[in-house]
Amino acid sequence: MNTKRFALAVAFVCVSSAALAASEKIDLNRADAAALSHAVKGIGAKRAEAIILYREAHHGFKNLEELAEVKGIGKAFVKSHHAELEAALTVGKSG
């Protein structure tokens, strides 16, 4: 009986952790520079500021791939960090 309870508890923790992680994604269209600079390894203060400048000039992001257009980020960074970007960021409505 204890084995069943333990297995159930482990399953609950795993499902809860996955749901919590999904809900903690940072919105690329709303996040400030501090949040962006801590979201993904390789995005520091300079890149975070560049993201915000691009976002303001283009009325927000439509998708994560658009990060490749940001000065100082580029296609190579987006390609090499794609999984990490997908896990950490989301694109909500701009404005």
The CA distance from 23 to 36, in Å, is: 16
Q: Residue 64's domain is classified under what CATH number?
A: 1.10.150.280
In a domain, 82, yes or no: yes
Q: Which residues pair with 90 in a beta bridge?
A: 27
C-alpha span between 74 and 65 (Å, rounded)? 10
Does 17 map to a domain? Answer: no
Is the Cβ–Cβ distance between 52 and 73 less than 8 Å? no
Percentage with pLDDT > 70 across the chain = 77
Mean pLDDT, residues 43-50 taken together? 97
The rounded percent of the chain whose pLDDT value lies above 90 is 71
Whether 10 is in a domain gets the answer no
Identify the top-confidence range among 10-14, 16-20, 73-77: 73-77
Measured CA to CA, the distance from residue 64 to residue 37 in angstroms comes to 16
Q: Count of domains in the chain?
A: 1
The parent domain of residue 46 ranges over 25-90
- Provide the pLDDT for residue 23: 55
* In-domain check, residue 6: no
In a domain, 78, yes or no: yes
Query: What confidence category does residue 84 fall into, taking pLDDT thresholds of 50, 70 and 90?
Result: very high
